[in-house]
């Protein structure tokens, strides 16, 4: 179980393979649009845990399995954005470029 990351058309795409199937997702947490594969990320049992607010998502379906530990909710439709790679990228939701939080001071 591993994740490969490719940049395609400026978007970081994570590619998860299991049992001969491939699942492709935007490599960003939809909660606060952070890069989900940053230091501290946990990948286990077909799940990925965001290192920022600890939301957990399925790498098979994209659904949120655990709400983020944050004052800001992720919303009822919060899920990973699926990416279909053909001659152009097709996203299941509104794509974004994940960014790190700005440092204050």
47 bridge partner residues: 44, 58
Domains of the chain (ranges; CATH) run 1-89 (2.102.10.10)
Q: Tens digit of pLDDT for each residue in 62-102? A: 999 999 999 998 888 899 999 999 888 999 999 999 999 87
Contact 3, 23 (CB under 8 A): no
Cα distances from 84 to residues 13, 32, 91, 97, in angstroms, run 10, 22, 6, 16
Alpha carbon of residue 39 to chain centroid: 14
**Positive or negative torsion for Cα 66, 96, 98, 87:** positive
Mean pLDDT of the chain: 93
């Amino acid at each position: 179980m591993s994740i490969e990351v490719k940049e395609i058309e400026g978007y970081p795409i994570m590619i998860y393979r299991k049992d001969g199937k491939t699942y492709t997702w935007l490599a960003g947490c939809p909660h606060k649009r952070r890069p989900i594969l940053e230091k501290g990320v946990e990948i286990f049992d077909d799940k990925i845990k965001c290192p920022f607010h600890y939301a957990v998502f399925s790498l098979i379906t994209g659904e949120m399995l655990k709400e983020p530990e944050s004052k800001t909710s992720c919303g009822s439709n919060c899920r990973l954005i699926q990416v279909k790679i053909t001659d152009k990228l097709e996203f299941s939701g509104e794509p974004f470029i994940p960014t790190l939080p700005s440092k204050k001071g």
